[in-house]
């Protein structure tokens, strides 16, 4: 599927989401939030569900947690134009509550179709509900920041950026996990991607400085690094 076909596929999915009545989440919402970004993105971020501002604008991650996500992306040399961002549910749950299993199941065909259309090399899950899509029964506190291969794709589970807004100590954890992302991406894409795919230049530049900074701050060892990379 070429870039134009990918764009058409995502536009069709967005249109289907707008008319979806498979669960009750659409009731009382202002806009569907199918997702946005690069249709040919190497990296796809999957969050949990739209919030108040996302519902108003029809875009993912535009509130306070979105601002933090933008900062995290910038910290590793990325921005929204280079990645694709979506959620496991495409309409805002009432009062920003957690999405329910039946709602996640109702939205699953749309997310499946997005993943198929984009064919990312790396998927970053943001929060426990998106993590459960790939690692059911796992605890995010145990696996966050550890890349794992799942169905031919590298999946990196991470805390949701909103967690840092409610628990300040998690901010440093999330920043440290993100800082390691360039190294994981560089090693993964250089070793596993088809010949037509290249590691983005900004990730190559960011990889070593980011790793050094995190190792210095967190006191991590080369042995721990090797253990994590064996999960790939």
Handedness of CA 11, 192, 126, 113 (dihedral sign): positive
The token duo for 171 is 């901010």
Domain definitions of the chain by residue range: 3-229
pLDDT at res. 225: 40
pLDDT at res. 151: 83
Question: In terms of CATH, what superfamily is 3-229?
Answer: Uracil-DNA glycosylase-like domain (3.40.470.10)
Cα 221 to Cα 179: distance, rounded to the nearest angstrom: 15
Give the predicted TM-score (pTM) of the model.
0.82
Mean pLDDT by 10 residues, the chain (232 residues): 95 98 96 98 96 97 96 95 97 96 98 97 95 95 93 92 91 94 78 40 44 38 39 42
Candidates 72, 61, 46, 78; CA nearest to 178 is: 72
Cα 114 to Cα 9: distance, rounded to the nearest angstrom: 8
How many other C-beta atoms lie within 10 A of the C-beta of residue 36?
19
* Region for residue 208 given its phi and psi (left: phi exceeds 0; alpha: psi -120 to 50; beta: otherwise): alpha
Cα 176 to Cα 184: distance, rounded to the nearest angstrom: 13
Q: Which residues pair with 37 in a beta bridge?
A: 84
């Amino acid at each position: 599927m070429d870039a134009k076909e990918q764009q058409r596929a995502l536009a069709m999915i967005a249109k289907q989401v707008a008319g979806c009545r498979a669960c009750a989440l659409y009731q009382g919402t202002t806009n569907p939030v199918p997702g946005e970004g690069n249709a040919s993105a190497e990296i796809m971020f999957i969050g949990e569900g739209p919030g108040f501002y996302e519902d108003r604008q029809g875009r993912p991650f535009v509130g306070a947690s979105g601002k933090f996500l933008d900062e995290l992306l910038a910290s590793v040399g990325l921005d929204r134009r280079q990645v694709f961002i979506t959620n496991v549910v495409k309409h805002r749950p009432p009062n920003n509550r957690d999405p329910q299993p039946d709602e996640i199941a109702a939205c699953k065909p749309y997310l499946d179709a997005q993943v198929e259309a984009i064919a990312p090399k790396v998927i970053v899950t943001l929060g426990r509900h998106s993590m459960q899509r790939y690692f059911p029964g796992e605890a995010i506190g145990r696996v966050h920041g550890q890349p794992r291969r799942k169905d031919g794709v590298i999946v990196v589970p991470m805390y949701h950026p909103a967690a840092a807004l409610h628990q300040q100590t998690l901010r440093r954890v999330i920043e440290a996990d993100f800082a390691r992302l360039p190294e994981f991406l560089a090693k993964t894409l250089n070793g596993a991607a088809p010949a037509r795919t290249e590691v983005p230049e900004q990730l190559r530049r960011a990889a070593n400085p980011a790793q050094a900074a995190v190792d210095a701050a967190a006191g991590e060892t080369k042995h721990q690094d090797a253990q994590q990379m064996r999960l790939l």
